[in-house]
């Protein structure tokens, strides 16, 4: 069964304290791994798509990386405005859908 597991469930950082979020997946024939950001009371907002092991993508203080079994979202010198829930997702098998992990709730304290 295709699965997506995110860890930790919650992470509290001080402003400027770098860290990483993990997304591990089990799916045959990966067709992409998606990262979304979700602010409280809003819908998920697309961040990145990674397609192959070794690929990296960056956006401001965020960098996403991909291996054959997991993806990391690295947050460098975070600011309070980076506080949000970060979701990862993969298309399961051949279906044109997304299976989501349960997310990591990030809180960055000033």
Picking from 82, 97, 76, the residue whose alpha carbon sits closest to that of residue 4 is 97
Q: Which stretch binds another protein (CB under 8 A): 16-24, 54-62, 66-74, 83-91?
A: 83-91
State the residue for tokens 């860890």. Answer: 7
- With CB under 8 A as the contact rule, the residue among 42, 54, 68, 110 that binds another protein is 42
What is the dihedral sign for C-alpha 16, 110, 40, 105?
positive
- With CB under 8 A as the contact rule, the residue among 78, 101, 106, 108 that binds another protein is 101
CA–CA–CA angle 51, 34, 101 (5° rounding): 130
Q: For residue 2, state whether it binds another protein (rule: CB under 8 A).
A: no
CA distances in angstroms from 84 to 10, 55, 78, 96, listed in the order given: 10, 24, 12, 27
Q: Which stretch binds another protein (CB under 8 A): 14-22, 43-51, 60-68, 76-84?
A: 43-51
Q: For residue 102, state whether it binds another protein (rule: CB under 8 A).
A: yes
Q: For residue 34, state whether it binds another protein (rule: CB under 8 A).
A: yes
Nearest distance in Å: CB 74, another protein: 21
């Amino acid at each position: 069964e295709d699965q997506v597991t995110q860890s930790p469930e919650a992470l509290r950082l001080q402003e400027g304290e770098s860290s990483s979020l993990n997304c591990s997946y089990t799916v045959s024939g990966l067709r992409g791994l998606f990262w979304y950001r979700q602010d409280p009371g809003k819908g998920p907002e697309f961040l990145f798509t990674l397609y192959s092991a070794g690929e990296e993508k960056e956006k401001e203080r965020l960098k996403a990386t991909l291996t054959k079994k997991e993806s990391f979202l690295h947050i460098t010198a975070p600011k309070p405005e980076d506080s949000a829930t970060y979701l990862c997702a993969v298309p399961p098998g051949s279906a044109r859908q997304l299976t989501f992990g349960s997310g990591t709730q990030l809180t960055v304290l000033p």
